[in-house]
Structure 1
Amino acid sequence: MKIRIALCQVDMEWEHTARNLERLESVVAAAEADVVVLPEMFATGFKLRPAVVAEPQDGLVVTTMRRWAATYKKAVVGSAVIVEEGTYRNRMFFVKPSGETQWYDKRHLFRPGGEGRDYTPGDKRVVVEYMGFRFLLQICYDLRFPVWSRSRGDYDAIIYCASWDNKRRDAWCALLRARAIENQCYVIGVNRVGTDPDAVYIGDSQALDYLGRTIAGADSGEWTMSVTLDLEQQRAFRESFPAWQDADDFRLEP
Protein backbone atom coordinates (compact mmCIF):
# COMPACT_ATOMS: atom_id res chain seq x y z
CA MET A 1 0.00 0.00 0.00
CA LYS A 2 1.43 3.35 -1.06
CA ILE A 3 0.48 7.01 -0.90
CA ARG A 4 1.92 10.15 -2.47
CA ILE A 5 2.50 13.22 -0.28
CA ALA A 6 3.35 16.68 -1.64
CA LEU A 7 5.38 18.99 0.58
CA CYS A 8 4.62 22.59 -0.41
CA GLN A 9 7.25 24.96 0.96
CA VAL A 10 5.84 28.41 0.22
CA ASP A 11 6.04 32.08 1.16
CA MET A 12 2.96 34.13 1.98
CA GLU A 13 1.82 37.73 2.16
CA TRP A 14 1.43 39.01 5.70
CA GLU A 15 -2.26 39.16 6.68
CA HIS A 16 -3.57 38.94 3.09
CA THR A 17 -5.78 35.86 3.23
CA ALA A 18 -7.56 36.19 -0.11
CA ARG A 19 -4.37 36.93 -2.07
CA ASN A 20 -2.54 34.03 -0.46
CA LEU A 21 -5.33 31.61 -1.24
CA GLU A 22 -5.53 32.83 -4.83
CA ARG A 23 -1.80 32.34 -5.36
CA LEU A 24 -1.58 28.99 -3.59
CA GLU A 25 -4.38 27.40 -5.58
CA SER A 26 -2.01 26.81 -8.49
CA VAL A 27 0.45 25.15 -6.09
CA VAL A 28 -2.21 22.74 -4.86
CA ALA A 29 -3.51 22.08 -8.35
CA ALA A 30 -0.07 21.25 -9.76
CA ALA A 31 1.03 18.98 -6.91
CA GLU A 32 1.27 15.37 -8.05
CA ALA A 33 0.06 13.70 -4.89
CA ASP A 34 -2.79 12.17 -2.95
CA VAL A 35 -2.18 14.53 0.00
CA VAL A 36 -0.94 18.13 -0.25
CA VAL A 37 0.65 19.62 2.88
CA LEU A 38 0.97 23.38 3.40
CA PRO A 39 2.74 25.27 6.23
CA GLU A 40 1.33 26.55 9.49
CA MET A 41 -1.08 29.49 8.98
CA PHE A 42 -0.41 29.32 5.24
CA ALA A 43 -3.11 31.87 4.38
CA THR A 44 -2.02 34.65 6.74
CA GLY A 45 1.49 34.15 8.05
CA PHE A 46 2.09 33.28 11.71
CA LYS A 47 -0.08 35.66 13.74
CA LEU A 48 0.42 36.34 17.44
CA ARG A 49 -2.53 38.76 17.47
CA PRO A 50 -5.22 36.46 16.06
CA ALA A 51 -8.17 38.87 16.03
CA VAL A 52 -6.79 40.54 12.90
CA VAL A 53 -7.14 37.44 10.70
CA ALA A 54 -9.25 34.92 12.65
CA GLU A 55 -12.16 33.24 10.87
CA PRO A 56 -14.93 30.90 11.94
CA GLN A 57 -14.72 27.25 10.98
CA ASP A 58 -16.80 27.91 7.87
CA GLY A 59 -14.75 30.95 6.82
CA LEU A 60 -12.82 31.57 3.63
CA VAL A 61 -9.75 29.45 4.44
CA VAL A 62 -11.56 26.21 5.27
CA THR A 63 -14.18 26.54 2.53
CA THR A 64 -11.34 27.13 0.06
CA MET A 65 -9.49 24.05 1.30
CA ARG A 66 -12.67 22.03 0.79
CA ARG A 67 -13.09 23.37 -2.73
CA TRP A 68 -9.47 22.55 -3.58
CA ALA A 69 -9.81 19.01 -2.23
CA ALA A 70 -13.01 18.38 -4.17
CA THR A 71 -11.83 20.01 -7.40
CA TYR A 72 -8.36 18.51 -7.58
CA LYS A 73 -9.21 15.14 -5.99
CA LYS A 74 -6.53 15.27 -3.31
CA ALA A 75 -6.53 15.81 0.43
CA VAL A 76 -5.32 19.23 1.60
CA VAL A 77 -3.57 19.82 4.94
CA GLY A 78 -2.53 23.03 6.71
CA SER A 79 -3.32 25.23 9.70
CA ALA A 80 -5.39 28.39 10.07
CA VAL A 81 -6.42 30.90 12.75
CA ILE A 82 -9.91 29.96 13.92
CA VAL A 83 -12.21 31.78 16.32
CA GLU A 84 -14.67 29.58 18.18
CA GLU A 85 -16.90 30.51 21.11
CA GLY A 86 -14.73 33.51 21.91
CA THR A 87 -11.44 31.60 21.83
CA TYR A 88 -8.72 31.52 19.20
CA ARG A 89 -7.22 28.28 17.95
CA ASN A 90 -4.23 27.44 15.81
CA ARG A 91 -6.09 24.66 14.04
CA MET A 92 -4.66 22.15 11.58
CA PHE A 93 -7.10 20.77 9.01
CA PHE A 94 -7.04 17.55 7.03
CA VAL A 95 -9.62 17.97 4.28
CA LYS A 96 -10.48 14.97 2.12
CA PRO A 97 -11.86 15.14 -1.45
CA SER A 98 -15.19 13.85 -0.12
CA GLY A 99 -15.50 17.01 1.97
CA GLU A 100 -14.89 15.19 5.25
CA THR A 101 -12.84 17.52 7.43
CA GLN A 102 -10.87 16.59 10.54
CA TRP A 103 -8.82 18.96 12.66
CA TYR A 104 -6.28 19.22 15.43
CA ASP A 105 -5.78 22.20 17.76
CA LYS A 106 -2.14 22.94 18.53
CA ARG A 107 -1.32 21.59 21.96
CA HIS A 108 2.01 23.32 22.64
CA LEU A 109 1.74 27.06 22.12
CA PHE A 110 5.04 28.84 21.44
CA ARG A 111 5.79 30.39 24.82
CA PRO A 112 9.00 32.22 23.73
CA GLY A 113 6.99 34.13 21.13
CA GLY A 114 3.89 34.74 23.24
CA GLU A 115 1.50 32.46 21.34
CA GLY A 116 -0.12 31.35 24.59
CA ARG A 117 -1.18 34.93 25.33
CA ASP A 118 -4.09 34.93 22.90
CA TYR A 119 -4.56 31.33 21.78
CA THR A 120 -6.20 28.42 23.58
CA PRO A 121 -4.30 25.11 23.43
CA GLY A 122 -5.82 21.85 22.30
CA ASP A 123 -5.96 18.79 24.54
CA LYS A 124 -6.51 15.92 22.10
CA ARG A 125 -4.19 14.00 19.82
CA VAL A 126 -5.75 13.52 16.40
CA VAL A 127 -5.03 10.65 14.00
CA VAL A 128 -6.58 10.78 10.53
CA GLU A 129 -7.03 7.68 8.38
CA TYR A 130 -6.74 8.15 4.62
CA MET A 131 -6.08 5.66 1.83
CA GLY A 132 -5.03 3.01 4.33
CA PHE A 133 -2.54 5.24 6.14
CA ARG A 134 -2.89 6.74 9.62
CA PHE A 135 -1.54 10.29 10.05
CA LEU A 136 -0.85 11.99 13.38
CA LEU A 137 -1.42 15.74 13.05
CA GLN A 138 1.05 18.08 14.77
CA ILE A 139 1.94 21.79 14.50
CA CYS A 140 5.39 23.39 14.69
CA TYR A 141 6.37 23.77 18.40
CA ASP A 142 4.73 20.38 19.12
CA LEU A 143 7.86 18.91 17.56
CA ARG A 144 9.87 19.68 20.72
CA PHE A 145 7.69 17.46 22.91
CA PRO A 146 8.28 13.76 22.18
CA VAL A 147 5.76 12.40 24.68
CA TRP A 148 2.90 14.12 22.82
CA SER A 149 3.89 12.44 19.56
CA ARG A 150 4.99 9.07 20.96
CA SER A 151 3.59 6.22 18.90
CA ARG A 152 1.15 3.95 20.68
CA GLY A 153 0.81 1.82 17.59
CA ASP A 154 -1.92 4.19 16.44
CA TYR A 155 -0.33 5.89 13.42
CA ASP A 156 2.05 5.32 10.49
CA ALA A 157 3.23 8.87 9.80
CA ILE A 158 3.42 12.26 11.50
CA ILE A 159 2.63 15.45 9.60
CA TYR A 160 4.12 18.67 11.00
CA CYS A 161 3.09 21.97 9.45
CA ALA A 162 5.27 24.82 10.70
CA SER A 163 6.44 28.40 10.74
CA TRP A 164 9.86 27.57 12.18
CA ASP A 165 12.27 30.47 12.59
CA ASN A 166 15.63 30.26 10.84
CA LYS A 167 17.44 30.89 14.16
CA ARG A 168 16.39 27.42 15.31
CA ARG A 169 16.85 25.47 12.07
CA ASP A 170 19.32 22.97 13.60
CA ALA A 171 16.70 21.96 16.17
CA TRP A 172 14.05 21.56 13.44
CA CYS A 173 16.19 19.18 11.40
CA ALA A 174 17.43 17.18 14.39
CA LEU A 175 14.02 16.77 15.99
CA LEU A 176 12.27 15.68 12.79
CA ARG A 177 14.85 12.92 12.44
CA ALA A 178 14.51 11.96 16.10
CA ARG A 179 10.72 11.66 15.86
CA ALA A 180 11.08 9.35 12.84
CA ILE A 181 13.67 7.11 14.48
CA GLU A 182 12.09 6.81 17.93
CA ASN A 183 8.62 6.10 16.54
CA GLN A 184 9.72 4.02 13.53
CA CYS A 185 7.40 6.12 11.40
CA TYR A 186 7.41 8.38 8.38
CA VAL A 187 7.70 12.08 9.19
CA ILE A 188 6.56 14.92 6.94
CA GLY A 189 7.73 18.38 8.02
CA VAL A 190 6.55 21.35 5.96
CA ASN A 191 7.92 24.75 6.90
CA ARG A 192 7.44 28.13 5.24
CA VAL A 193 9.99 30.44 3.65
CA GLY A 194 10.19 34.24 3.48
CA THR A 195 9.82 36.81 6.23
CA ASP A 196 7.25 38.39 8.51
CA PRO A 197 7.62 41.35 10.90
CA ASP A 198 9.19 39.09 13.53
CA ALA A 199 11.17 36.34 11.82
CA VAL A 200 12.99 34.90 8.81
CA TYR A 201 12.11 31.43 7.58
CA ILE A 202 14.60 29.34 5.61
CA GLY A 203 12.33 26.34 4.97
CA ASP A 204 14.19 23.05 5.41
CA SER A 205 11.00 21.11 4.70
CA GLN A 206 11.66 17.40 4.49
CA ALA A 207 10.26 13.91 4.45
CA LEU A 208 11.96 11.14 6.41
CA ASP A 209 11.37 7.42 6.52
CA TYR A 210 11.04 5.13 9.55
CA LEU A 211 14.84 4.81 9.77
CA GLY A 212 15.29 8.57 9.90
CA ARG A 213 16.65 8.68 6.35
CA THR A 214 15.82 11.70 4.21
CA ILE A 215 13.47 10.86 1.36
CA ALA A 216 13.24 14.42 0.09
CA GLY A 217 14.21 17.86 1.29
CA ALA A 218 15.52 21.28 0.37
CA ASP A 219 16.75 24.26 2.30
CA SER A 220 15.52 27.60 0.93
CA GLY A 221 13.11 28.88 -1.68
CA GLU A 222 9.60 27.96 -2.72
CA TRP A 223 9.23 24.44 -4.00
CA THR A 224 6.92 21.46 -4.10
CA MET A 225 8.20 17.91 -3.93
CA SER A 226 6.19 14.70 -3.88
CA VAL A 227 7.29 11.57 -2.04
CA THR A 228 5.89 8.05 -1.87
CA LEU A 229 5.27 6.34 1.46
CA ASP A 230 5.21 2.54 1.42
CA LEU A 231 3.26 0.95 4.26
CA GLU A 232 4.39 -2.63 3.59
CA GLN A 233 8.07 -1.65 3.75
CA GLN A 234 7.51 0.16 7.02
CA ARG A 235 5.67 -2.77 8.58
CA ALA A 236 8.35 -5.21 7.44
CA PHE A 237 11.03 -3.10 9.11
CA ARG A 238 9.05 -2.80 12.34
CA GLU A 239 8.64 -6.58 12.41
CA SER A 240 12.35 -7.19 11.78
CA PHE A 241 13.42 -4.58 14.36
CA PRO A 242 10.60 -4.51 16.94
CA ALA A 243 11.95 -1.80 19.21
CA TRP A 244 8.37 -0.61 19.65
CA GLN A 245 7.70 -3.69 21.79
CA ASP A 246 10.18 -2.40 24.38
CA ALA A 247 8.68 1.09 24.64
CA ASP A 248 7.88 2.41 28.12
CA ASP A 249 4.23 2.36 29.02
CA PHE A 250 2.58 5.62 30.06
CA ARG A 251 -0.71 7.50 29.92
CA LEU A 252 -1.19 11.05 28.68
CA GLU A 253 -3.25 13.36 30.88
CA PRO A 254 -5.13 16.43 29.53
Structure 2
Amino acid sequence: MKDQLKIALIQAPLVWENPEANRNYFENKLADVNEEIDMMILPEMFTTGFTMTPQNIHSSEGENTLVWMKKLAQKQNAAIVGSIVYEAQEFFTNRLFFVKPDGGIDYYDKRHTFTLAGENEVYNSGAKKLIVNFRGFKICPMVCYDLRFPVWARNVEKYDVLLYVANWPKPRVGAWDALLKARAIENMAYCVGVNRVGVDEKGHKYSGHSATYDCLGEQLAYSEREAILYSTIERNHIEETREKLKFLEDMDDFTLE
Protein backbone atom coordinates (compact mmCIF):
# COMPACT_ATOMS: atom_id res chain seq x y z
CA MET A 1 0.00 0.00 0.00
CA LYS A 2 1.39 3.36 -1.02
CA ASP A 3 1.12 6.59 0.97
CA GLN A 4 0.97 8.68 -2.19
CA LEU A 5 -0.55 8.35 -5.64
CA LYS A 6 1.09 10.53 -8.25
CA ILE A 7 -1.05 11.46 -11.22
CA ALA A 8 -0.64 13.25 -14.56
CA LEU A 9 -3.59 15.07 -16.14
CA ILE A 10 -3.20 15.26 -19.92
CA GLN A 11 -5.08 18.33 -21.18
CA ALA A 12 -5.00 18.28 -24.97
CA PRO A 13 -6.70 19.17 -28.27
CA LEU A 14 -8.32 16.26 -30.13
CA VAL A 15 -8.40 15.36 -33.82
CA TRP A 16 -11.97 14.82 -34.98
CA GLU A 17 -12.91 11.16 -35.52
CA ASN A 18 -9.30 10.10 -36.11
CA PRO A 19 -8.28 7.45 -33.56
CA GLU A 20 -4.86 6.79 -35.07
CA ALA A 21 -3.86 10.46 -35.08
CA ASN A 22 -5.01 10.89 -31.49
CA ARG A 23 -3.23 7.75 -30.30
CA ASN A 24 -0.02 8.97 -31.92
CA TYR A 25 -0.43 12.37 -30.27
CA PHE A 26 -1.00 10.94 -26.81
CA GLU A 27 1.80 8.40 -27.15
CA ASN A 28 4.22 11.25 -27.84
CA LYS A 29 2.68 13.35 -25.08
CA LEU A 30 2.94 10.56 -22.48
CA ALA A 31 6.59 10.10 -23.44
CA ASP A 32 7.10 13.68 -22.18
CA VAL A 33 5.91 12.80 -18.67
CA ASN A 34 9.03 13.58 -16.68
CA GLU A 35 8.11 12.18 -13.30
CA GLU A 36 7.47 8.75 -11.85
CA ILE A 37 3.69 8.59 -12.20
CA ASP A 38 1.08 6.10 -10.97
CA MET A 39 -1.86 7.20 -13.11
CA MET A 40 -2.19 9.13 -16.39
CA ILE A 41 -5.63 10.55 -17.20
CA LEU A 42 -6.81 11.46 -20.72
CA PRO A 43 -9.97 13.38 -21.70
CA GLU A 44 -13.39 12.00 -22.61
CA MET A 45 -13.57 10.38 -26.08
CA PHE A 46 -9.86 11.04 -26.44
CA THR A 47 -9.56 9.21 -29.78
CA THR A 48 -12.39 11.02 -31.60
CA GLY A 49 -13.68 14.10 -29.89
CA PHE A 50 -17.29 14.25 -28.68
CA THR A 51 -18.82 12.74 -31.79
CA MET A 52 -22.49 11.87 -32.22
CA THR A 53 -21.71 9.82 -35.34
CA PRO A 54 -19.93 6.76 -33.88
CA GLN A 55 -20.77 4.79 -37.01
CA ASN A 56 -18.00 6.80 -38.69
CA ILE A 57 -15.48 5.00 -36.45
CA HIS A 58 -14.50 1.52 -37.58
CA SER A 59 -15.70 -1.16 -35.19
CA SER A 60 -12.13 -2.38 -34.67
CA GLU A 61 -10.94 0.94 -33.25
CA GLY A 62 -12.21 0.29 -29.73
CA GLU A 63 -10.09 -2.83 -29.39
CA ASN A 64 -7.17 -1.13 -31.15
CA THR A 65 -7.20 1.62 -28.55
CA LEU A 66 -7.54 -0.85 -25.69
CA VAL A 67 -4.47 -2.77 -26.90
CA TRP A 68 -2.64 0.54 -27.19
CA MET A 69 -3.61 1.52 -23.64
CA LYS A 70 -2.37 -1.81 -22.28
CA LYS A 71 0.96 -1.41 -24.06
CA LEU A 72 1.49 2.10 -22.72
CA ALA A 73 0.37 1.21 -19.20
CA GLN A 74 2.95 -1.57 -19.08
CA LYS A 75 5.66 0.61 -20.61
CA GLN A 76 5.02 3.52 -18.23
CA ASN A 77 4.25 1.30 -15.21
CA ALA A 78 1.19 3.49 -14.67
CA ALA A 79 -2.55 3.18 -15.09
CA ILE A 80 -3.98 4.82 -18.21
CA VAL A 81 -7.51 6.23 -17.88
CA GLY A 82 -9.83 7.78 -20.48
CA SER A 83 -13.10 7.24 -22.34
CA ILE A 84 -13.61 6.26 -25.98
CA VAL A 85 -16.34 5.43 -28.47
CA TYR A 86 -16.83 1.72 -27.96
CA GLU A 87 -19.00 -0.63 -29.97
CA ALA A 88 -20.33 -3.38 -27.72
CA GLN A 89 -22.29 -6.03 -29.64
CA GLU A 90 -24.92 -4.00 -31.53
CA PHE A 91 -24.80 -0.75 -29.60
CA PHE A 92 -22.36 2.09 -28.85
CA THR A 93 -21.24 3.30 -25.46
CA ASN A 94 -19.13 6.17 -24.17
CA ARG A 95 -16.90 3.81 -22.23
CA LEU A 96 -14.18 4.76 -19.79
CA PHE A 97 -11.36 2.27 -19.46
CA PHE A 98 -9.05 2.05 -16.45
CA VAL A 99 -6.09 0.03 -17.68
CA LYS A 100 -3.50 -1.13 -15.16
CA PRO A 101 0.19 -1.85 -15.78
CA ASP A 102 -0.33 -5.56 -15.14
CA GLY A 103 -2.87 -5.72 -17.95
CA GLY A 104 -5.94 -5.60 -15.72
CA ILE A 105 -8.89 -3.67 -17.16
CA ASP A 106 -11.90 -2.07 -15.49
CA TYR A 107 -14.52 -0.12 -17.40
CA TYR A 108 -17.39 2.25 -16.76
CA ASP A 109 -20.13 3.26 -19.20
CA LYS A 110 -21.19 6.90 -18.85
CA ARG A 111 -24.33 6.95 -16.72
CA HIS A 112 -25.70 10.36 -17.72
CA THR A 113 -25.67 10.75 -21.48
CA PHE A 114 -25.79 14.38 -22.57
CA THR A 115 -29.33 14.94 -23.87
CA LEU A 116 -28.56 18.50 -24.99
CA ALA A 117 -26.30 17.05 -27.71
CA GLY A 118 -28.45 13.98 -28.36
CA GLU A 119 -25.94 11.61 -26.81
CA ASN A 120 -28.83 9.66 -25.27
CA GLU A 121 -30.10 8.86 -28.77
CA VAL A 122 -26.77 7.43 -29.94
CA TYR A 123 -25.08 5.83 -26.94
CA ASN A 124 -26.38 3.38 -24.36
CA SER A 125 -26.33 4.68 -20.80
CA GLY A 126 -24.44 2.80 -18.11
CA ALA A 127 -26.12 1.49 -14.98
CA LYS A 128 -23.24 0.52 -12.71
CA LYS A 129 -20.92 2.70 -10.64
CA LEU A 130 -17.27 1.66 -10.69
CA ILE A 131 -14.80 1.65 -7.80
CA VAL A 132 -11.25 0.69 -8.77
CA ASN A 133 -8.71 -0.45 -6.19
CA PHE A 134 -5.29 0.64 -7.40
CA ARG A 135 -2.06 0.73 -5.41
CA GLY A 136 -3.97 0.95 -2.16
CA PHE A 137 -6.34 3.75 -3.20
CA LYS A 138 -10.04 3.50 -4.03
CA ILE A 139 -10.84 5.45 -7.19
CA CYS A 140 -14.28 6.28 -8.61
CA PRO A 141 -14.09 7.28 -12.30
CA MET A 142 -16.93 9.09 -14.09
CA VAL A 143 -17.52 10.93 -17.36
CA CYS A 144 -18.32 14.60 -18.06
CA TYR A 145 -22.11 15.14 -17.66
CA ASP A 146 -22.07 12.81 -14.61
CA LEU A 147 -20.52 15.77 -12.78
CA ARG A 148 -23.89 17.53 -12.61
CA PHE A 149 -25.50 14.69 -10.62
CA PRO A 150 -24.19 14.53 -7.04
CA VAL A 151 -26.37 11.61 -5.95
CA TRP A 152 -24.59 9.32 -8.42
CA ALA A 153 -21.20 10.37 -7.02
CA ARG A 154 -22.20 10.20 -3.32
CA ASN A 155 -19.34 8.64 -1.40
CA VAL A 156 -21.08 5.66 0.18
CA GLU A 157 -18.09 3.45 -0.76
CA LYS A 158 -15.56 5.63 1.12
CA TYR A 159 -13.51 6.09 -2.04
CA ASP A 160 -10.38 8.25 -1.94
CA VAL A 161 -10.42 9.81 -5.41
CA LEU A 162 -13.31 10.90 -7.61
CA LEU A 163 -12.25 11.60 -11.18
CA TYR A 164 -14.00 12.97 -14.25
CA VAL A 165 -12.87 12.92 -17.88
CA ALA A 166 -14.64 15.43 -20.08
CA ASN A 167 -15.28 17.43 -23.24
CA TRP A 168 -16.79 20.34 -21.29
CA PRO A 169 -17.35 23.42 -23.51
CA LYS A 170 -16.04 26.89 -22.75
CA PRO A 171 -19.44 28.66 -22.37
CA ARG A 172 -20.30 26.50 -19.33
CA VAL A 173 -16.83 26.02 -17.88
CA GLY A 174 -17.76 28.05 -14.79
CA ALA A 175 -20.10 25.23 -13.80
CA TRP A 176 -17.26 22.73 -14.32
CA ASP A 177 -15.02 24.68 -11.93
CA ALA A 178 -17.71 25.02 -9.26
CA LEU A 179 -18.93 21.44 -9.42
CA LEU A 180 -15.48 19.82 -9.30
CA LYS A 181 -14.75 21.75 -6.11
CA ALA A 182 -18.18 20.91 -4.67
CA ARG A 183 -17.78 17.19 -5.39
CA ALA A 184 -14.46 17.20 -3.49
CA ILE A 185 -15.90 18.99 -0.46
CA GLU A 186 -19.16 17.05 -0.15
CA ASN A 187 -17.50 13.65 -0.63
CA MET A 188 -14.40 14.37 1.51
CA ALA A 189 -12.27 13.01 -1.33
CA TYR A 190 -9.79 14.26 -3.87
CA CYS A 191 -11.60 15.30 -7.05
CA VAL A 192 -9.76 15.29 -10.39
CA GLY A 193 -11.17 16.66 -13.64
CA VAL A 194 -9.49 16.29 -17.04
CA ASN A 195 -10.95 18.36 -19.88
CA ARG A 196 -9.80 19.02 -23.44
CA VAL A 197 -8.78 22.26 -25.18
CA GLY A 198 -9.20 23.55 -28.74
CA VAL A 199 -12.13 23.66 -31.16
CA ASP A 200 -13.97 20.62 -32.46
CA GLU A 201 -15.49 19.91 -35.87
CA LYS A 202 -18.83 21.38 -34.74
CA GLY A 203 -17.27 24.69 -33.73
CA HIS A 204 -17.49 24.06 -29.98
CA LYS A 205 -14.66 25.70 -28.04
CA TYR A 206 -12.95 24.06 -25.05
CA SER A 207 -10.82 25.99 -22.57
CA GLY A 208 -9.51 23.19 -20.38
CA HIS A 209 -9.68 24.10 -16.68
CA SER A 210 -8.45 20.60 -15.81
CA ALA A 211 -7.83 20.60 -12.09
CA THR A 212 -7.26 18.65 -8.90
CA TYR A 213 -8.92 19.51 -5.58
CA ASP A 214 -8.14 17.99 -2.20
CA CYS A 215 -10.66 16.81 0.42
CA LEU A 216 -11.23 20.38 1.61
CA GLY A 217 -11.67 21.83 -1.86
CA GLU A 218 -8.21 23.37 -2.12
CA GLN A 219 -7.02 23.55 -5.73
CA LEU A 220 -3.75 21.68 -6.31
CA ALA A 221 -3.43 21.93 -10.11
CA TYR A 222 -5.09 23.96 -12.87
CA SER A 223 -4.52 25.02 -16.48
CA GLU A 224 -6.36 26.64 -19.39
CA ARG A 225 -3.96 25.53 -22.13
CA GLU A 226 -2.52 22.37 -23.61
CA ALA A 227 -0.49 20.94 -20.76
CA ILE A 228 0.49 18.04 -18.55
CA LEU A 229 -0.54 18.77 -14.97
CA TYR A 230 0.89 16.88 -12.00
CA SER A 231 -0.77 16.20 -8.66
CA THR A 232 -0.10 14.00 -5.65
CA ILE A 233 -2.86 12.23 -3.74
CA GLU A 234 -1.83 12.05 -0.07
CA ARG A 235 -3.21 9.24 2.09
CA ASN A 236 -2.46 11.19 5.25
CA HIS A 237 -4.55 14.12 4.05
CA ILE A 238 -7.55 11.86 3.44
CA GLU A 239 -7.28 10.06 6.78
CA GLU A 240 -6.54 13.12 8.89
CA THR A 241 -9.30 15.20 7.29
CA ARG A 242 -11.92 12.50 7.73
CA GLU A 243 -10.83 11.82 11.30
CA LYS A 244 -11.06 15.48 12.23
CA LEU A 245 -14.21 16.27 10.21
CA LYS A 246 -16.55 13.28 10.37
CA PHE A 247 -19.01 14.65 7.81
CA LEU A 248 -19.31 11.40 5.87
CA GLU A 249 -20.69 9.71 8.98
CA ASP A 250 -23.61 12.18 9.02
CA MET A 251 -24.78 11.62 5.45
CA ASP A 252 -28.38 10.65 4.71
CA ASP A 253 -29.11 7.02 3.89
CA PHE A 254 -30.65 6.38 0.50
CA THR A 255 -31.07 3.70 -2.13
CA LEU A 256 -30.39 4.47 -5.79
CA GLU A 257 -32.57 2.47 -8.17
Output the CA distance in 2 between the equivalents of 1:73 and 1:22. Answer: 19
Which residues of structure 1 form unaligned runs of 5+? Answer: none
**SS at the partner of 2:15?**
coil
CA root-mean-square deviation: 1.2
Corresponding residue for 2:217?
212
The 8 Å contact of residues 110 and 142 in structure 2, kept in 1 or not, is answered as yes
Name the stretch that deviates more: 138-147 or 46-55.
46-55
Q: Deviation at 1:58?
A: 5.9
Q: Is 2:179 the partner of 1:175?
A: yes
**SS at the partner of 2:9?**
strand
Q: Is 2:142 the partner of 1:138?
A: yes
Corresponding residue for 1:235?
239
Q: Deviation at 1:30?
A: 2.5
The 8 Å contact of residues 113 and 125 in structure 2, kept in 1 or not, is answered as yes
Q: Write out per-residue CA displacement over residues 89-129 of structure 1, whole angstroms, 9 at most, x where no aligned residue.
A: 00001000100010000000001111001100000000101
Corresponding residue for 1:190?
194
Corresponding residue for 2:15?
13
Runs of 4 or more consecutive aligned structure 1 residues displaced over 3 Å after TM superposition: 54-58
Output the CA distance in 2 between the equivalents of 1:172 and 1:94. Answer: 22
Q: Deviation at 1:197?
A: 2.3
Q: How does 1:86-125 map to 2 (within 5 A)?
A: 86-125=90-129
Amino acid at match of 1:110: F
Q: Is 2:205 the partner of 1:200?
A: yes
TM-score by length of 2: 0.95
The 8 Å contact of residues 54 and 88 in structure 1, kept in 2 or not, is answered as no
Output the CA distance in 1 between the equivalents of 2:32 and 2:119. Answer: 33
Q: Deviation at 1:54?
A: 5.5
Query: How much identity, in percent, do the aligned residues show?
Result: 40
Q: Write out per-residue CA displacement over residues 18-50 of structure 1, whole angstroms, 9 at most, x where no aligned residue.
A: 111011102222323110000001111111111
Output the CA distance in 1 between the equivalents of 2:120 and 2:31. Answer: 34
TM-score by length of 1: 0.96
Instruction: Pick one of 126, 148, 154 that aligns with 1:150.
Output: 154
The 8 Å contact of residues 56 and 84 in structure 1, kept in 2 or not, is answered as no
**SS at the partner of 2:50?**
coil
Q: Deviation at 1:153?
A: 3.4
Which residues of structure 2 form unaligned runs of 5+? Answer: none
Amino acid at match of 1:53: I
Output the CA distance in 2 between the equivalents of 1:15 and 1:123. Answer: 26
The 8 Å contact of residues 212 and 219 in structure 2, kept in 1 or not, is answered as yes
Q: Write out per-residue CA displacement over residues 152-185 of structure 1, whole angstroms, 9 at most, x where no aligned residue.
A: 0331111100000111001000000000000010
The 8 Å contact of residues 191 and 205 in structure 1, kept in 2 or not, is answered as yes
The 8 Å contact of residues 62 and 84 in structure 2, kept in 1 or not, is answered as no
Output the CA distance in 2 between the equivalents of 1:153 and 1:17. Answer: 34
**SS at the partner of 1:179?**
helix
